[in-house]
Amino acid sequence: MHIPVLKKEIIEYLNPKPNENFIDCTFGQGGHTLALLDAIEPNGKVLAIEADPELYNKFQQEGGDENSKSKIQNRLILVNDSYINLKNIIAEKNFGPVNGIVMDLGLSSWHFEESGRGFSFKEDEPLDMRYNPQINSLTALEIVNSYTEEDIEKILKDYGEEKFSRAIAKKIIEKRQEKPIRTTFDLVEIIWSALPGRFQRKKLHPATKTFQALRIAVNSEIENVKKGLIQAAEVLGKDGRIAVISFHSLEDGEVKRFFKRCQEINIFEIITKKPIVPGFEEISNNPRSRSAKLRIARKII
């Protein structure tokens, strides 16, 4: 079951009012969008963007009962695109004014559990990791089987903050000379063999950082966050608020720096001096929320 992260806090800080318009840059399975639609009844609209065509189609086919569908059909504008094209999407849909924006930068639980694209090291799946296979030709399989040792090490170090990036990269090169690395379990086995024994017993699974790094590299996630934030700041109306949820320090650092720069040049007022994190109850109900950090800013011009 999909549980949107920090939903209560998103609604509290975005403070949506009846008939306002919002953008959900990362629709996923619709948790934040549906909560916003409830808050902005009767005529408020949400422009929701989902990059993954399969997830987009899944909601179109299964998105609630007929009652709820009819209730939101004229108020939900759902597009299969990326938030890096935010300004173009708004122009195409003639959407506005924009009273608030939410960006949840985490993966949907569907990606881990149902996509079959190798996002999770707990399932034996092809090493794909693309959000949109229709427009992105780069896969994790290509990276681990064709990139140089130096490039793989840099990806693991820069995007995964992996302490053993050199050892893992070296082992990847060594093993792929014996046979191609095709599945998530192939890669997990290599990672295990590259680490000293004492680090194999840590609470964090040894493959976590490598899988994160490859996913970020495949989908150009850090570069896309930068592009999305710039456009979000441009399209947000005066006094509108932007809420961004990140799940690792690289993303959170980008959001923090962007908000700070915007505050210095009098575009934003930072609402959250420190990021908001989930409470004990939410983490108990949804363990994946444990690393979430929410930052909010208000546009002042």
Round to whole Å and give the CA distance between 29 and 57: 11
| Residue 103: other Cβ atoms inside 10 A | 24
Q: What pLDDT, on the 0 to 100 scale, is given for residue 62?
A: 84
Round to whole Å and give the CA distance between 28 and 48: 9
CB of 139 closer than 8 Å to CB of 227: no
Q: Is residue 257 part of a domain?
A: yes
Q: What pLDDT, on the 0 to 100 scale, is given for residue 45?
A: 98
- Provide the residue-wise pLDDT of the chain in tens; the chain has 301 residues: 568 999 999 999 999 999 999 999 999 999 999 999 999 999 999 999 999 999 999 998 887 555 556 667 789 999 999 999 999 999 999 999 999 999 999 999 999 999 999 999 999 999 999 999 999 999 999 999 999 999 999 999 999 999 999 999 999 999 999 999 999 999 999 999 999 877 666 678 999 999 999 999 999 999 999 999 999 999 999 999 999 999 999 999 999 999 999 999 999 999 999 999 999 999 999 998 999 999 999 999 9
Q: Are residues 93 and 168 in the same domain?
A: no
Q: What pLDDT, on the 0 to 100 scale, is given for residue 239?
A: 98
Q: Are residues 126 and 63 in the same domain?
A: no
Q: Is residue 98 part of a domain?
A: yes
CB of 124 closer than 8 Å to CB of 185: yes
Q: Are residues 80 and 145 in the same domain?
A: no
Q: Is residue 2 part of a domain?
A: no
Q: Are residues 74 and 22 in the same domain?
A: yes
End-of-domain residue from the set 219, 247, 277: 219
Q: Any idea what the CATH number is for the domain that residue 55 is in? A: 3.40.50.150
Q: Is residue 159 part of a domain?
A: yes
Q: What pLDDT, on the 0 to 100 scale, is given for residue 240?
A: 98
- Domain of 271? 7-111+221-299
Q: What pLDDT, on the 0 to 100 scale, is given for residue 137?
A: 97
Q: Are residues 96 and 240 in the same domain?
A: yes
Q: Are residues 193 and 255 in the same domain?
A: no
End-of-domain residue from the set 219, 253, 283: 219
Round to whole Å and give the CA distance between 53 and 195: 37
Q: What pLDDT, on the 0 to 100 scale, is given for residue 68?
A: 56
Q: Are residues 160 and 289 in the same domain?
A: no
Q: Is residue 1 part of a domain?
A: no
Structure-block tokens of residue 251: 């993303």
Q: Any idea what the CATH number is for the domain that residue 166 is in? A: 1.10.150.170
Q: Are residues 31 and 107 in the same domain?
A: yes
Q: Are residues 246 and 173 in the same domain?
A: no
CB of 28 closer than 8 Å to CB of 102: no
Burial class (CB in 10 A: 0-12, 13-18, 19+), 197: exposed
Q: Is residue 73 part of a domain?
A: yes
Q: Are residues 95 and 14 in the same domain?
A: yes
Round to whole Å and give the CA distance between 110 and 119: 10
End-of-domain residue from the set 169, 188, 219: 219
CA distances from 268 to 32, 103, 237, 277 (A): 23, 16, 11, 21
Q: Are residues 60 and 145 in the same domain?
A: no
Q: Are residues 183 and 265 in the same domain?
A: no
Q: Is residue 252 part of a domain?
A: yes
CB of 289 closer than 8 Å to CB of 5: yes
Structural domain total, the chain? 2
